[in-house]
Structure 1
Amino acid sequence: MRTDWTPESPHRVIHSDNLLAIAGLPDGVFTLIYLDPPFNTGRAQARQSTTSVRSASGPIRGFKGQQYERIRGDLMSYDDRFEDYWTFLEPRLAEAWRLLADDGTLYLHLDYREAHYAKVLLDALFGRENFLNEIIWAYDYGAKSKSRWPAKHDTILVYVKNPRGYYFDSTTVDREPYMAPGLVTPEKVARGKLPTDVWWHTIVSPTGREKTGYPTQKPEGILRRIIQASTREGDWVLDFFAGSGTTGAVAASLGRRFVLVDESADALAVIRARLTKAGIAFE
């Protein structure tokens, strides 16, 4: 893996264990970091355990000291699977925080199995004052359980590096139709409304133009909304669980610059083919 990346570099796609790759990136250069890690479903996942190379006094011990260590210990005692999952995810989040610009935003995309644990632990790790939003992405597709309320949403936890100086511009976000257009003026209906923290958006259609064949591909509309609101043209975006490359494809289409990392050869093949087809140059 090349380690000569600078903020003046072109778009880059890196095939590597992500913890090793991001350790070589400079501090504080990414305005947006979007992470969609493997969900802790309880199923065995083939991945190699990697420990951080940073010192024992570094951020992986927790930015909030004893409070963080206590909360972390309490949560670990509830669920062994969570402990395994967090041992994998925690050092990567600590590195993400280092890489985030002072006006930057971290979006962590999880499902219902981990979101409640992660929220408590991230509050302790990064500071509750840095928490900005819990976004609910709701969709209605696929099989539905008849023995409980069907689980048809993901959670995206949003944290800002500096709660007094983060970048956010909702006026640049694509508007959506009013759910009750009869209650507002025709002018408002024509303009549409700004999204709230509940996003109704379909998954990637199995027969649609976006489909790459990658199993956990996220729709462009979700990433478009995130990137529009939390970056400016020319800003750097990082995704080190890049998967199908949706983050990079959308970032480039909006005039942002990106670094994508994934250790899967299948993912890299999908990303390269997708970006090439879109005419996006990258290293």
Structure 2
Amino acid sequence: MSRKQKLELTWIGKDERPRLEPRILLEDPALSHHACHRVSETDRFDNLLIHGDNLLALKALEQDFRGRVQCIYIDPPFNTQQDFKHYPDGLEHSTWLSMMEARVKLLHSLLHPSGTLCVHIDDNELAYLTVLVDEIFGRANRVAICTFKQSSVSGPKARNPGPVSVASYLLMYAKAKPLWKFSRTYRATSRDSRYSKWIANFDAPASQWVLQNLSDAFGEWLELQSDASKRRIAKNMERALHDFVVRNAERVVRTARVADKDVNESAREKLQASRRSASQVFVARREGLPDYYFLNGEQLIFYSAKVREIDGRATTAEAVSTLWDDLLSNNIHNEGGVAFPDGKKPEALLRRVLDMTTADGDLVLDSFAGSGTTGAVAHKMGRRWIMVELGEHCHTHIVPRLRKVIDGQDPSGITAATVWKGGGGFRYYRLAPSLLREDSFGNMVINPEYRPEMLVEAVCKLMGYTYAPSDSHYWQHGHASETDFLYVTTASLTHAQLRALSEDIGEDRTLLVCCKAFRANADAFPNLTLQKIPQTVLDRCEWDRDDYSLRIANLPPAPEPTEAEAEPNPRTPMRGRKRTQPVATDDLFGQGDEA
């Protein structure tokens, strides 16, 4: 029987899965920030800024935030060739894809069932990334690939051979399309000149309406204006005409052909009647839907259907499509008061993404935070947010930018459009160091940086328990359910201590005991599960690795071997030769005490 096959993207190292340690997060109050007073009742204070490797950070978030994030926007490294100039093409793509696969899988677990993933990418890896995310999210859940015009045809790039690249792309996926939440979003556009007729007597019954040219109606209105207004209008006549049309949108119309088969039976009768009485408007009423208006065998379409309120102003608008060519900002370098050449995205872009995919109070995540645009926009829009950034610009760019947003001192970007006045706050966290660290004798020991409460929280997370220390029960450090608890201690427990613990727990509850050692049979107490750390966790994950980021560009090329290095040296001992091990020290994770 042949092995079942599937369509998938393969690359060097795809089957190598990182075994991630679920780290705890440590707050640094000096870098956390909140407004000095409440600005509104909807101020958000539970936002998170995490400094550290984003793969480890996503793993750290997984237990508490699985299935809770409504929108994830990421702008990962675009994998330009200069990042890999010393390496073959196969390694270039393979390393980048491995980096992305591990992260997208964790992002999928964090996303709410009705949520959206948006990945911003250029054409270097667009095709590969599409197939990769298809594999994780399912091709049926791919919503769109939006083209974002981010520059104009000018500068040095216009002299390069081939078409000038001015666009990047947003891959948009639903976690589960049947449950997907999406809000129709509109963008301002110019006046639609096809609407060229004006209902002169709009207040009369529809059957008596008289249509005239829009230009005549605008001219009549213009004649009623003062001389000063006429001079001002003359400087931008099209703008004045557009505003006139929008203000009177229910009176501005055009006609459109309509076939009998395209309307219901009652409307069909009105349509046919309009052909017989060419100068009269006929109305077909519809329950719960806009009425049909017919004139001379055609349908009357009202301009009011094209008007939307955008940024507090009524204007001609159209539904946002997959071509985003209206967000190019000439002032992007000033947004947020931070410089971030070749990497900053306009706040208007993030606003559009969040308008389409979130509502007030929803949780937004960006694990490639860059200059902090996602958090700044989410904050101004009343969304909760989590951002992760490894680089030092977390401190030089993101923290100062968010402080300005919170203090109401950032007038740039979407501040005016959202009428942002400041407020709220965020907590700054660092990833804790690894729980286990190799000592000078080669043994895995408890990291000396861990305080007792850190150790308890770390073991809770490692074992999948919720960290919730009890004030009334010393043994209740965490819980997996209402009757299943966890206890962490650095002591070696005797049979008498375990018996007392078992009696305190009672028959209706269970307790996982993680300790240095115990002197009792492991199954002596039915309501206790005894485990020695680290024996049960040593192989669970990769310990003491702090960086899973893509840093190949910083590595030097491998040197060519010299003749001396190429010839084997008989005096050089083999690398694989077993060496004498030093005597191990007894510690929290020592094995000197037998169970």
TM tier, smaller? 0.7 to 0.9
SS of the counterpart of 1:44? helix
Where do 4+ consecutive residues of structure 1 move more than 6 Å?
none
Shift in Å at residue 184 of structure 1?
4.8
Higher helix share: 1
CA contact (8 A) 2:114 2:174 kept: yes
Aligned to 1:23: 59
Aligned to 2:328: 202
CA contact (8 A) 1:32 1:105 kept: yes
Counting only pairs closer than 5 Å after superposition, residues 96-175 of structure 1 correspond to structure 2 as: 96-141=107-152, 143=155, 144-146=157-159, 147-170=161-184, 173=185, 175=187
Greater mean deviation of Cα atoms: 11-20 or 118-127: 118-127
Shift in Å at residue 131 of structure 1?
0.3
Say whether residues 1:43 and 2:82 are aligned partners.
yes
Shift in Å at residue 4 of structure 1?
8.3
In 2, distance between residues paired with 1:94 and 1:9?
28
Shift in Å at residue 174 of structure 1?
5.1
In 2, distance between residues paired with 1:207 and 1:232?
28
Letter in 1 for 2:321: T
Shift in Å at residue 204 of structure 1?
5.8
Letter in 1 for 2:169: T
In 1, distance between residues paired with 2:399 and 2:77?
21
- Tell me the percent identity: 31
Greater mean deviation of Cα atoms: 237-246 or 272-281: 272-281
In 2, distance between residues paired with 1:204 and 1:243?
19
Letter in 2 for 1:196: S
In 1, distance between residues paired with 2:356 and 2:195?
25
Shift in Å at residue 82 of structure 1?
1.2
Counting only pairs closer than 5 Å after superposition, residues 45-124 of structure 1 correspond to structure 2 as: 79-124=90-135
CA contact (8 A) 1:32 1:100 kept: yes
TM-score by length of 2: 0.39
Letter in 2 for 1:110: I
Shift in Å at residue 205 of structure 1?
2.6
Post-superposition CA distance 1:249-277 (Å, at most 9, x none): 11111110000000001233211101101
Aligned to 2:393: 266
Shift in Å at residue 84 of structure 1?
1.4
Aligned to 2:72: 33
In 2, distance between residues paired with 1:19 and 1:207?
29
Larger Rg: 2
Shift in Å at residue 3 of structure 1?
3.5
Shift in Å at residue 191 of structure 1?
3.3
CA contact (8 A) 2:375 2:385 kept: yes
TM-score by length of 1: 0.80
In 2, distance between residues paired with 1:203 and 1:242?
20
Say whether residues 1:281 and 2:425 are aligned partners.
yes
In 1, distance between residues paired with 2:142 and 2:75?
18
Bigger relative contact order, structure 1 or 2 (CA pairs below 8 A, ≥6 apart): 1
CA contact (8 A) 1:214 1:267 kept: no
Q: 1:118 to 1:204 in 2, by over 3 A?
A: farther
In 2, distance between residues paired with 1:208 and 1:241?
20
Coordinate RMSD, CA, aligned: 2.4
